[in-house]
Structure 1
Amino acid sequence: MLKATDSGFDIQGVLDLLPHRYPFLLVDRVISCDCEKEIHALKNVSFNEPMFNGHFPGNPIFPGVLLLEGLAQAAGLLGFRITEQKSTANDLYLFAGIDNARFKRQVVPGDTIHYHVTFEKERRGIWKFSGRAEVDGELAASADIICARREV
């Protein structure tokens, strides 16, 4: 069950909603979620993460594609919270597309990524979200995320 703190929730709440697990869970905590339109989640980037073994030795950079995946996971969390009254345990949000992806800043070990995702619209099970990933108040990446809600 979600442990709410000021409309946010801890890692257990994230695990209750997302099917992702180590090493592919890219949201550590939800800072705030209004359950209708916006979510603010975060990920703490540690040097101990497996991708840094090869990306890149001697110059660790968090992969841009994982910034996008983190935005998609935050969008999935928001989708689950929006539909909480209507959803079932079998609901799953699948990454269906991405538009307007831009990368503006490198993310390195020691950074905290703040995901800000806004629900834009839903039509016939296809959800559109606008997202940005920030570090220290600077834009690291932004994209429009398209998810498909599906019962499994």
Structure 2
Amino acid sequence: MSVLTTKEIMEIIPHRHPFLLVDTIEELEPGVRAKGKKCVTYNEPFFAGHFPSEPVMPGVLVVEALAQVGAVALLSQPGFKGKTAYFGAINSAKFKKKIVPGDVLMLETEIIKIKGPIGIGSAKAYVDGKLAVQAELTFAIGSLEES
């Protein structure tokens, strides 16, 4: 059973369809880690052009999905409630497996360091228990008014 539904995720992060790339949060330790799920369907808007004859989820969107899971972990803690987590950096991204329609992505982001409004997360995406994508993500926490 999920810890957070799509509706509850949208109460924490500002992303909406078609850019909300996490269906549910399966595990959550606020400020520490989160595990989310994305069921990839052929109806995803990006498959119309990436690629019509061989649909593959763009790697940058898998990294974004991992960042959204990390943002849920960070913004679930009381001190960051109502804030937004922006990308500060993407380091050491590695793409090991194509993600295609029908795959269920399990997205795990662990916050390994927080200093003031900056957080760093170790992120991994799996399909059928096999590592598909991994990256180190840097988050900058702010509010929409500051942007």
Q: TM-score range by the shorter chain?
A: over 0.9
Aligned length: 144
Paired position in structure 2 for 1:95: 87
Q: Pick from 7, 19, 44: which aligns with 2:14?
A: 19
Give runs of aligned pairs for residues 58-77 of structure 1, distance below 5 A: 58-77=53-72
Q: What are the Cα deviations for residues 84-129 of structure 1, in whole angstroms up to 9, with x where unaligned? A: x22343x111011011100000000000100011110111311000
Greater mean alpha carbon deviation, residues 100-109 or residues 118-127: 118-127
Q: Structure 2 length normalisation: TM-score?
A: 0.93
User: Is 2:29 the partner of 1:34?
Assistant: yes
Matched residue of 1:17: which SS?
Answer: coil
Work out the CA distance in 2 between the residues paired with 1:60 and 1:23.
17
Work out the CA distance in 1 between the residues paired with 2:139 and 2:71.
8
User: Is 2:46 the partner of 1:51?
Assistant: yes
Matched residue of 1:20: which SS?
Answer: coil
Structure 1 runs (4+) greater than 4 angstroms displaced? none
Question: CA shift at 1:58, angstroms?
Answer: 1.2
Q: Structure 1 length normalisation: TM-score?
A: 0.90
Are the aligned partners of 2:124 and 2:131 in contact in 1 as well (CA < 8 Å)?
yes
User: Is 2:141 the partner of 1:149?
Assistant: yes
5+ residue gaps in structure 1? Answer: none
Q: Which one-letter code corresponds to 1:118 in the other structure? A: E
The percent of aligned pairs where both chains have the same amino acid is 33
Q: Which one-letter code corresponds to 1:86 in the other structure? A: G
Q: Which one-letter code corresponds to 2:79 in the other structure? A: K
Paired position in structure 2 for 1:86: 79
